[in-house]
Amino acid sequence: MFVIGEAVIDDAITRAFFRCDLTACMGACCCIAGGRGAPLDDPEVREVYRVLPAVTSYLSERSRRALAAAGPLEGRPGDYATTCIDERECVFVVMQDGIATCAFERAFRDGATDWPKPVSCHLFPIRIRRGHPGVLRYEEIEECESGRSRGLREQLPLSEFLREPLVRRFGEAWHNEFRLACKAPQVSDRTPGT
């Protein structure tokens, strides 16, 4: 573990290679069983409701019915998440050629909104543990094996694959320091704050 700014970072992040391979995983990270959807920071709750009218037009009738019945999110301050359908897929999943995609992301790419998606989704497979300072950990799930294999083949470090969401969450200066730390030898030998 090492510290950059407000974040405590798991050393596994510095050693990982990754690039999503949607044709192999079929967007499995959006449909993981367990009953809770994407974790949301409290300020993101306002964003979900703000872009909801534009995003709803991308959803299937099934998702629209689920939204009408349960709403777009669950939880309480400090512990919000998107709702799920049948305790599995996020209510904002859009199936496209058999691949689970994100209605927030599609609306953003089409210029219908200015908010890309929850930062927890944008950062996956890095997860931020709630609390201060935030703890960044690398979540290696079986469904992402194809992403790990592809990243290794292409020699794409996880820190570079997730550059955009890391900059979105922590800023450009933080990411520059993070990249340097990821390239430094023996990161795991450093003590937090040194």
pLDDT in tens, 80-131: 999 999 888 999 999 989 999 999 999 999 999 999 999 999 999 998 887 6
Span 173-184, average pLDDT: 88
Crossing angle of helices 163-170 and 172-183, rounded to 10°: 130
Q: β-pairing, 84-85 with 7-9? A: unpaired
Residue 175: what residue type? H
pLDDT in tens, 32-73: 887 688 999 999 999 999 999 999 999 999 999 999 999 999
Bond from prior residue into 165 cis (ω within 30 degrees of 0): no
What Å distances lie between residue 63 and 30, 69, 89, 127, CA to CA?
A: 14, 10, 10, 25
Span 134-144, average pLDDT: 89
- Global pTM reads 0.85
Q: Hey, how many other C-beta atoms are within 10 angstroms of the C-beta on 64?
A: 13
Q: What is the pLDDT of residue 35?
A: 67
Does the structure show a pLDDT above 60 at 14? Answer: yes
Domain boundaries, the chain: 1-18+125-194, 28-115
What confidence tier does 1 reach under pLDDT thresholds 50, 70, 90? confident
Least confident among 20-24, 86-90, 146-150, 185-189? 185-189
- The 10 Å CB-count burial string (b at 16+, else e) for 93-108 is bbbeeeebbbbbbbbb
Cα–Cα distance, 101 to 22 (Å, whole number): 9
Q: What is the pLDDT of residue 101?
A: 94
Does the structure show a pLDDT above 70 at 186? Answer: no
Q: Is the dihedral of CA 114, 80, 97, 59 positive or negative?
A: negative
